[in-house]
Structures are given as C-alpha cells and as structure tokens.
Amino acid sequence: MSQDSIAAANVAGASSSATGRGLWSSRWMFFLAATGSAVGLGNIWKFPYITGENGGGAFVLVYLACILVIGIPLLMTEVMIGRRGRANPEGAIATLAKRAGASRHWRKLGTMAVLTGFLILSFYSVVAGWALAYAPAAAMGSFAGLDGESSGALFGAMLGDPWKLIGYGTLVLLLTLGIVGLGVREGLERSLRFMMPGLFVLLLVLVGYATTTGHFGEAVHFLFAADFSKLSAQSVLVALGHAFFTLSLASGAMMVYGSYLPAGTSIARTSLMVALADTGVALLAGLAIFPLVFANGLEPGAGPGLIFVTLPIAFGQMPFGQLVGGLFFIMLAIAALTSAISLSEPTIAWLSEKFAIGRLKAVLLSGITLWLLSLGTVLSFNLWSEFTLFGKTFFDSLDYLTTNLMMPLGGLGTVLFTGWALSRTTVQEALGINHPQLFKLWWLVLRWLTPLGILVVFLHTLGLFG
Ligand code: PHE
C-alpha cells in the first residue's frame, strides 16, 4: 500500500486493522512500552556520569527544567501525531499535513526521525553489548580486587577486541530484531510485560542495597544540593541535549508507539506519567550508583567510565559485590534492550508501510544494514581509533550527528509543525487536555518557549554563540 493510500484509509477513518497495523492492548501497555523506550543507557549510564561531570544538584535542576519546558510538550506532540496519523512517522505526518492543508514537505521530518533512530541504534547496540559482556564478568567475580588502573585496563581490553564487540553487539541486534519481528502484540508486548517489572524490581533492590553502605546521605546531597557556581553554560546545553535523548524524542520512537495507542486514552496524562517514570528512574539510578562510589572512595566525576570502570572497582571490594554487580549489569542490559526495540520499530514500520513489504522482510533488511553500520562503531574503538572526521572517531561523529544535530533539528521541526501548521482545535481535541486554561498555557509553551529553547541549544551547538 502506498503512503497516500494509507493516508486516505486513515482519513476515511478505517480501523487500524484495515491497514494491517497492530494496537497496544491497553493504555497500561503503551505506558510500559514508552517508559521502556525512555529508560535506557541514557538514564543509567549517561545521566549519572553527566551529573557527576557537571557538579551535581544544580545540573539536575536545569535538567528537570528542560524536561518540563521542552521534553514534555514535545513528547505529547509526538504521541499525538502518531495516534492521529496511525502510521509510521513519515506517513503519520503526511496524513496530518494533508488534512490541515499544509505543505507535503513536512513529511520529511518523519523520514529524518526514522533515520535518526536507525543511526542511533547502530551504535546503541554496541554500547548495550558492553552491559551484556559485563553481567557475566561481574557475576563470576572478575572484578575482585580491581583498582583504578586494572579496572581501566579491563575495560580497555574489551574495547580493543573487535571480535568481542561484534559478538555482543550482534547478540543485542538479534535479540532486538527477533522481538520486533514478532510484531506489536506477540513481540513487543509479550517481552515488555516481564522486562519492565523486572527492571523496576532490580532498580529498587539496588537502591535498597545502596542505603546499606552508610553513604546514602552523601549521594542525596550530591544529587539534590544545588551549587550554581559549578554550573557552566555548557552544562545547560548538555542538560537540554540529554532531555531529548532520555525521552526518546525526535527519533520516531514515541511517534510510532503513539500510532499503536488505542483511541480514548488521554495523551497528556499518559505522557506526563512516562516523563515522570523516566526522570524517577534516572534519579534512582543515581541513588543506586553514587553511594557505592562514595563508600569506596571513588570519583563521581569520572565521565563515561563511571559505570564500566569506576563501579566495577566498587563491586570488586563490596560485600555481595558479585551478586549486586551481576544484577546491576543485567538491569542495564534490560533497560538498553527495551530502548533498542523502540529504536528499531520506526524503521520497520516505515519500510513495511512505505514499500509494502512484509514485516519479516523489513526486519531482515534493516538488520543487515544496521549490523554493517555497527561495524563502524566497533572499529572506532580499536582498529580505526586513529581515523577521525573533524577530530571525532566514527562513533563520536555518529553520536554527535544524531544527538546534537538531528534531534534538536527534528524536534524543532516537529513543534513548529504542530504549533504553527496544525489548527489549535485539532491539537486540543487530539491531546485530551480538557481544561481550557491549562491547554492555553500548553499551547503558548509549545508555540514559543519550546522552539526558542531548542533554537538556543541548536545554535549554540553549531558554535554560533559563545
Ligand atoms: N531514551 C533512551 C535512553 O535513555 C534512548 C533512546 C533514544 C531510545 C531515542 C529511543 C529513541 O537510553
């Protein structure tokens, strides 16, 4: 079926089963899936280390402001576009633009979102592979007696071994695409039903353990006591970029998940719950990690190595370190897997709907291209580490291109499309914010504050000011 005939079928109000698409079985399933997408390496790996690097509490406050002003309005917008359009991101935007009499070029925003998710998955799968590699290592006691140097060497040895990275990255892709290949109900729902509760239980167990270290208060202070002198302009930008990444925005994920959302669910309320859960997990991850860091006299601002170099030292010298370490990396792997699933779904939906090919064919096609592209990331840690583009390795370039360029640009386009190309009544109806004053405020934020906020980050990333 071509894009236009899908659009026509949707305009005619045909049920989604007429277009061969699935639906979440409930609002609760959508919440689990969207939260699974949002909660990932971004929360457990990235948030604690960027908070550590940017001095703690003040950074957390700025990050929360970004979630509120940019993240939440954009999240609601994306879910709404998906549900109204009932198609992959490109098809959904095309449908809405057509109905509103707006330019058909808006659909390119959807195409770019699909591409962004695809590119992110090519490196996300490699990093998720590290968690898969570290889980058995932790459980089997490989961290016993590690110090800063030997822990760094252990991590370095893994990065230096392309076969190991390819092996674990391939495993992540196989698991992800295997689940996605089974479809929305049989694949996504069935796996999320046990992975998400498992993730939360593990997180709570780990936070519980952290309270026994005697350094919990120190971690609370570090995360919540705001010292603005430690905050730089750069930190504000890091916080903004992270708001996009952690809520899975501008990558097609939330749009495509929204396209499977049953009618009648309040998008505003559900999105708010997803954002709350995501932020809650990031903070809890900090509360699970920093007490261990402080209890073992380690450095909170160690950067990307916080989880893979600093924490193993703590696991190696703590009581029950093998068990806790194993559980920690299993939790990280689950969080990464549920995000990887959502990163692949936009591409699968786009390929199968736009080119009218079966889901399995779409999975195979994207799997092969993803795998080939992931080799670039793998090699950038070893054989190609000297090979740089604008001073960045292949992995760093892809990360920069997607997180710092494509996400802000796509997010900006999406809020402009919703705030300025769609009509106010369409949006109000679709969102389900019934309170007129509340909607008025939301509409104002979406049309002005959100785009201006994104624009400032974006221009700054391009180095246009300061
Ligand atoms: N939100 C995920 C995380 O925090 C990453 C992600 C980005 C997932 C974009 C889907 C889409 O790890």
pLDDT digits (tens, 9 = 90+) for 360-406: 999 999 999 999 999 999 999 999 999 888 888 999 999 989 988 89
From atom 7 of ligand 1, which residue's Cα is the shortest distance away?
Answer: 248
Mean pLDDT, residues 421-439: 91
CB-CB contact of 403 with 240 (8 Å): no
Residue with tokens 């576009």: 81
- pLDDT exceeds cutoff 80 at 153: yes
Instruction: Give the model's pLDDT for residue 464.
Output: 62
More confident residue, 11 or 28: 28
Angle at 252 between CA 333 and CA 28, to 5 degrees: 65
From atom 10 of ligand 1, which residue's Cα is the shortest distance away?
Answer: 248
Mean pLDDT, residues 406-418: 95
Q: How far is the CA of 249 from the centre of ligand 1 (A)?
A: 8
Question: Rounded CA gap, 200 and 84, in Å?
Answer: 31
Q: Would you say how long the chain is, in residues?
A: 466
CB-CB contact of 427 with 388 (8 Å): no
- For the chain, how are helix, strand and coil distributed in percent, rounded to 5? 80, 0, 20
Handedness of CA 215, 218, 223, 229 (dihedral sign): negative
| Maximum Cα–Cα distance across the chain | 66
252 CA closest ligand 1 atom index: 11
The rounded radius of gyration (Å) of the Cα atoms in the chain is 22
Tell me if 173 is assigned to some domain.
yes
How many independent structural domains does the chain possess? 1
Confidence of residue 54 (pLDDT cuts 50, 70, 90): confident
Confidence of residue 8 (pLDDT cuts 50, 70, 90): very low
Helix (H, G, I), strand (E, B) or coil at 389: strand
- pLDDT exceeds cutoff 80 at 7: no
CB-CB contact of 383 with 138 (8 Å): no
Q: How far is the CA of 380 from the centre of ligand 1 (A)?
A: 21
Q: Which two tokens stand for residue 7?
A: 């659009």
Question: Rounded CA gap, 191 and 189, in Å?
Answer: 6
Instruction: Give the model's pLDDT for residue 429.
Output: 87
Tell me if 355 is assigned to some domain.
yes
Residue with tokens 């959904």: 92
- pLDDT exceeds cutoff 70 at 13: no
- pLDDT exceeds cutoff 60 at 17: no
250 CA closest ligand 1 atom index: 9
Pocket of ligand 1 (CB under 6 A): 37-38, 40-43, 117, 120, 245-246, 248, 251, 253, 339, 342-343
More confident residue, 354 or 229: 354
Among 118, 121, 246, say which to mutate for ligand 1: greatest number of ligand atoms within 8 Å of CB: 246
343 CA closest ligand 1 atom index: 10
More confident residue, 30 or 388: 30
Tell me if 466 is assigned to some domain.
no
CA distances from 449 to 71, 73, 420 (A): 12, 10, 13
Helix (H, G, I), strand (E, B) or coil at 86: coil
Instruction: Give the model's pLDDT for residue 236.
Output: 82
CA atoms within 13 A on the CB side of 211: 6
Question: Rounded CA gap, 102 and 298, in Å?
Answer: 56
Among 74, 245, 281, 401, say which to mutate for ligand 1: greatest number of ligand atoms within 8 Å of CB: 245
Q: What are phi and psi of 392, to 5 degrees?
A: -120, 145
pLDDT digits (tens, 9 = 90+) for 217-264: 999 999 998 888 878 877 887 888 899 999 999 999 999 999 999 998
CA distances from 134 to 138, 295, 314 (A): 6, 21, 14
CB-CB contact of 454 with 416 (8 Å): no
Range of the domain at 285: 3-461
Among 248, 251, 334, 401, say which to mutate for ligand 1: greatest number of ligand atoms within 8 Å of CB: 248
From atom 9 of ligand 1, which residue's Cα is the shortest distance away?
Answer: 248
User: Which of 5-9, 38-42, 51-55 has the weakest average pLDDT?
Assistant: 5-9
| Of 102, 147, 74, 93, nearest in space to 316 by CA | 147
CB-CB contact of 334 with 195 (8 Å): yes
Mean pLDDT, residues 55-75: 93
Q: How far is the CA of 64 from the centre of ligand 1 (A)?
A: 17
Tell me if 326 is assigned to some domain.
yes
Residue 125: give its domain's CATH number: 1.20.1740
Q: Is 149 exposed, middle or buried (0-12, 13-18, 19+ CB in 10 A)?
A: exposed
Q: How far is the CA of 404 from the centre of ligand 1 (A)?
A: 14
Q: Which two tokens stand for residue 231?
A: 């905050």
pLDDT digits (tens, 9 = 90+) for 72-108: 999 999 999 999 999 999 999 999 999 999 999 999 9
Q: How far is the CA of 342 from the centre of ligand 1 (A)?
A: 8
Q: How far is the CA of 37 from the centre of ligand 1 (A)?
A: 6
Tell me if 148 is assigned to some domain.
yes
